Each structure stands twice: as C-alpha cells, then as structure tokens.
Amino acid sequence: MPAVKTKIPCLLSIVLFFSLYIPHAKGIPATKDSTLKKENILNIMRQVADWQLNEWNTKGFNHPPVDWTNAACYTGFYALGAIKGNDKYLEALTKIGSDLNWNTGRNRFMADDYCIGQTYSLLYTRYHDKKMIAPFIKLADSILDKPHDESLEWKDNIASREWAWCDALFMGPTALSYLSTATKDPKYLNTAVKLWWKTTNYLYDPTEHLYFRDGSYLNRKEKNGKKVFWSRGNGWVLAGLVRVMENMPANYPDKSNFETLYKDMAARIASLQQPDGSWHASLLDPESYPVKETSGTGFYCYALVWGLNHNLLDEKTYLPVVKKAWAALTSSVHPNGMLGYVQRIGDSPDMVTENSAEVYGVGAFLLTGSELYKYVSHHPAIK
C-alpha cells in the first residue's frame, strides 16, 4: 500500500458475547493431515477469528475500521460467517458497517479506501437492506464516470486515481464486481474488467506470469539477480482474480481470458512453493527472507482451492500443493489463535517472525479455510 497506517483508538465495540511453469511438488510429499476434516477446519477458523475479535474488542483497531487492512480481514470473516452456525461473525460485520454508516474511506477514488465495499455488497445480498450499499453505489457511479486515461507510472499520487499498484486488484475490482452481483447491474463488473486489464497490461510480466508491485519495480533486481516479485503482492492479485471471476456470469464475454490468466498464474505460483508448503516473501529469491510468510501463502492457498472447487484446476496436480500450504498455515497458528508469520504492511518483500501478526493475514486464512471447508464437504473421503 502507498502509506503505512498508524494505530488509532478503538472506534467500535464489536464483541457479540461470545517444466518451469508446470506445477511440481518440492520437498517432502503431502501426508495424511487430520486438519482436513471439516470439524478441524472449522474449529481452527473460529479460533483465529475469535482471537481477532478479542483483539479488536480489548485493544481497539490498529488501523481505521474502514481501512484496507481491516477490509481484507472482513472478507474472511464473511466467508466464515456464511458457513451455517457462524452467524456471530456476520453480526460483527453488520455492527461495524452500521457504526461506519456504511461509508467507505475518505480518499474516495483510491482502491484501498473502497475495498470495504465488497463486504457491504455481500451483506446486502444476504440481508437485502438497501442502506448497506446506498453510499457505495453513489461512489461506484462516480468511479465509472472517471475517464481512467492516465498513465500508471508511479508518480503524481497516481494511486489516488488509478489502480496503479498490483495490490489494488484485490481492493478495487472486487468491490465493483460484488456490487454488480448485489445490484444485478453489469456496469460495475464491466468497469472492473476494463480497468483490470489496464493494470495487467502495465504490471504483468508475461514471461514470469507474475505481477510487479508497481511501476517503480519494473527494473529492480533481487540480491540473486532475479526480478523482484513480492509474494503478498501477487497474492493480492490471485485472490482478487478469483473474487472477480466469482461474480462473472457463465457466459460473460471476457471470462475465458480471466480463466487463462488464472491458470497461468496458478501454475507459476505452484512451481514456486517452498518445501515447507509456504511461499516466502520474495518469490524468485526465497533465500533473501528464508522464512514462511502466511499472508501471501494464505491468499495463494485460497485461490488454488477456489480453482479446485470451480473445476478449473487438476486435482492430482494442485491438491498436494493445497494440502502442504494449509499445513504451513495451520502450523503458524499460536495456541491462543493468533496467526503468526504475517509480513508487516509494506510494498516489497520483508522479514517476518513467528509473532508477526496482521489483520489481512487473518482474512487470507479464513478465506482459505472457507474454500477448503467447501472442498472437503464435497470430497468427504479426502485425508
């Protein structure tokens, strides 16, 4: 993200009483893992979510409740809440939205500040309360009215007007796409798709099948001489990609192009998985930060399981990748429910520790768990 947010006092009370690109498995093969049982997946999701709820309630929000960091977390909370018997997480999100008067952030045309719109739209599709999306509809209409004809060069505060950094592809197009589903109006999805390809044409490396973080990274190199491709940055992209596709009708004109991009990225990402099942902060120089990183790993695992659930990926090839990634994620959860090894806010690869925690890591973990829960529900014999 363009700027680091500072800690602020708690604004809300949310407690609710309670070949190169052919994928290959590196390192040890996947083994039997009891965490792939439905009840175990759900239990560890609740453990992680409850830890985060308690943090918000007892210590306050580390970032503004409307901020992209929390907005990414809310997507995971919604996914957990959508599983039968977990309404309390939806109630928490509804309380947050209500306290914010269903508004987005102050920097109206910056994708970070309207990322929360996707959660508002999801809540609306469940509860059908128009006030949940009324403010975002007005903002989205004004976004659609913009010419979007500026260069994406990383200068002149371009991030406040265009999707000029790869992270924005989780923040902006998803918000517009879910609004299309909520309103049944394709104009928001159409704009999301148009602007997705604008960003992709600028930041996507078709040789590596990965995205540069922003224009300032196009010519940077890692210590080993390889190009700089940030794990979480590409995690934002791949997760955003499946969330946009989630809102595309089966006959949508550009769907096949999105599916091709998704499969190319999925293959490349799978080929870069580390022996412990994770992805390190730097994708092409994993030894520069030789420790697992759970936000990128979480978004990758989520997107890959989504592909299995939608019959876009081969089970024999990708299920071992998913199983190893889930094992890496669950082994990073502390006994109290805190998810560790999450890289701090930034725009490039950086160090992590077992005690590094951030809300977007929680969101990625819960998104992964929700897709894995669906997969196991339809494949009860999986071990």
Active site residues: 167
Contact present, 86 and 46 (Cβ < 8 Å): yes
Amino acid at 272: L
Is residue 290 within 8 A of residue 272, CB to CB? The reply is no
The position carrying tokens 């928001």 is 188
Give the containing element (helix H, strand E) for 307. helix 294-309
DSSP 13-30: -------TTS----SSPP
- Residue holding tokens 């952030």? 105
In 9-94, where do the E strands start and end? none
Alpha carbon separation from 336 to 278, 325, 344 (Å, rounded):
22, 21, 20
As a residue count, the chain comes to: 383
d(Cα 364, Cα 76) in Å, to the nearest integer? 6
Q: Which among 343, 349, 380, 383 has a CA at the least distance from the CA of 361? A: 343
Do residues 362 and 379 touch, judged by C-beta distance below 8 A?
no
67 vs 339: CA distance, rounded Å = 20
